[in-house]
Amino acid sequence: MSPLSSTVKLNSGHLMPLVGFGCWKVNNSTAADQIYNAIKTGYRAFDGAQDYGNEKEVGDGIKRAIADGLVKREELFIISKLWNNFHKPANAKIALKRTLSDLQLDYVDLFYIHFPIAFSFVSLEEKYPPGFYCGDGDNFKFENVSLAETWGALESFVDEGLVKSIGISNFNGALVYDLLRTARIRPAALQIEHHPYLVQDRLVEYVQSQGIQIVGYSSFGPQSFLELGHATAKDTPTLFEHSTIKSIANKHSKSTAQVLLRWATQRNIAVIPKSNNPERLLANLTVEDFDLSKEEIAAISALDANIRFNNPWDWNNAKIPIFV
- pLDDT (tens, 9 = 90+) of the chain, 324 residues, equals 556 789 999 999 999 999 999 999 999 999 999 999 999 999 999 999 999 999 999 999 999 999 999 999 999 999 999 999 999 999 999 999 999 999 999 999 999 999 999 999 999 999 999 999 999 999 999 999 999 999 999 999 999 999 999 999 999 999 999 999 999 999 999 999 999 999 999 999 999 999 999 999 999 999 989 988 898 999 999 999 999 999 999 999 999 999 999 999 999 999 999 988 889 999 999 999 999 999 999 999 999 999 999 999 999 999 999 999
pLDDT, position 144: 97
Residues annotated catalytic, as ranges: 52
Distance of CA 176 to the CA centre of its chain: 17
Which CATH number is associated with domain 13-193? 3.20.20.100
Spell out the domain ranges in the chain. Answer: 13-193, 219-306
**DSSP label of 79:** E
pLDDT, position 148: 98
The enclosing H or E element of 156 equals helix 147-160
Distance separating alpha carbons of residues 192 and 68, to the nearest angstrom: 34
| CA proximity to 40, closest of 246, 278, 221, 248 | 278
pLDDT, position 159: 98
| CA proximity to 193, closest of 211, 220, 212, 167 | 220
The enclosing H or E element of 60 equals helix 55-67
Distance separating alpha carbons of residues 80 and 182, to the nearest angstrom: 23
pLDDT, position 275: 87
- Contact present, 95 and 82 (Cβ < 8 Å): yes
pLDDT, position 32: 98
Tell me the pairing of strands 189-193 and 213-217: parallel
Was 114 annotated as part of a binding site? yes
At 247, the amino acid letter reads: S
Instruction: Report the DSSP beta bridge partners of residue 106.
Output: none
pLDDT, position 198: 98
- Contact present, 163 and 265 (Cβ < 8 Å): no
pLDDT, position 2: 53
The pTM of this model reads: 0.97
| CA proximity to 274, closest of 50, 79, 47, 16 | 47
